[in-house]
Amino acid sequence: MPTTTEITEEYIRKHPSIQDCLKKRIINYSSLARRIAEETEITKKSSIEAILIAARRYAVKIKNEKINEDAIIRLLKDAELDVKTRSVVVVIDKDIYPDSLIDLEKDAKKNRDFIHIIEGVKTITILTTERYLNKIKQKFSRSIIKEYSNLATLIIKTSQDIEAIPGVMSHLYSLLGNRGINIIETMSCWTDTILVIDEKDVSSAMEVFRF
């Protein structure tokens, strides 16, 4: 059975925002101890006091660790943001003819339209502009599993430092999630991070990227 100290440290490790607050020394330890006790169903007063002590000791242990949030914000401040509206996402079964996908990609590139095709274990996801939606339906009518329209594609272009900074995606997800913005699809290509959201959320998303 885990000790109170182990329970406390495990809880904090699972909540990066709390870790950052501990590192910055801007947390109320009594409130934190009560929250941990409540969520882990610890009721004894002596155990709650033990949680408080364990949290303080853990803060000392991690105080010199690098705060990723600062590095993430610096990275995103220097990033370029490209927004493409009228996007669609179509998920199809993999029992399709590769040539059909190649033809679709050729058409998009010929017209200088964006298209991203991601192959999974059982499905293929196509992200492109809505002008190709009817063509996709015609070509893959029997293989379409799900389709989304009225979307916007956010392309975040960062430096290659993104490779060495843990937590960039979780930070972005938190920023958008806190504004009630749902991320429908995520893709990446080295320093380009691609997020697909509902078109109605574009203005709110733009506020997120004003660092």
Residue type, 165: I
> Which pTM was predicted?
0.80
Domain limits for position 181: 75-208
C-alpha 173/C-alpha 153 separation (Å) is: 15
Q: What is the CATH number of the domain that holds 130?
A: 3.30.2130.10
- Indicate whether 109 and 165 sit together in one domain: yes
C-alpha 11/C-alpha 133 separation (Å) is: 45
Give the whole-number percent of the chain exceeding pLDDT 70.
99
* 70 part of a folded domain: no
127: buried, middle or exposed (CB in 10 Å: 19+, 13-18, 0-12)?
Answer: buried
- Indicate whether 46 and 87 sit together in one domain: no
- Indicate whether 158 and 97 sit together in one domain: yes
Question: Are the C-beta atoms of residues 88 and 132 closer than 8 Å to each other?
Answer: yes
* 124 part of a folded domain: yes
- Indicate whether 19 and 118 sit together in one domain: no
Domain boundary among 47, 65, 83: 65
* 19 part of a folded domain: yes
Q: What is the average per-residue pLDDT within 13-30?
A: 90
For 46-104, what is each residue's pLDDT tens digit?
Answer: 788 999 999 999 999 888 777 678 899 999 999 999 999 999 999 999 887 678 899 99
Please give the tally of structural domains in the chain: 2
- Indicate whether 23 and 111 sit together in one domain: no
**Residue keyed to tokens 């925002």:** 17
Distances (CA, A) of 209 to 128, 197, 201: 23, 14, 13
pLDDT at position 97, please? 66
- Indicate whether 130 and 187 sit together in one domain: yes
Nearest 5°: the CA angle 126, 128, 129 is 150
Residue type, 85: T
Residue 96 is classified by DSSP as: S
Nearest CA to 185 out of 135, 211, 147 is that of: 147
C-alpha 55/C-alpha 60 separation (Å) is: 9
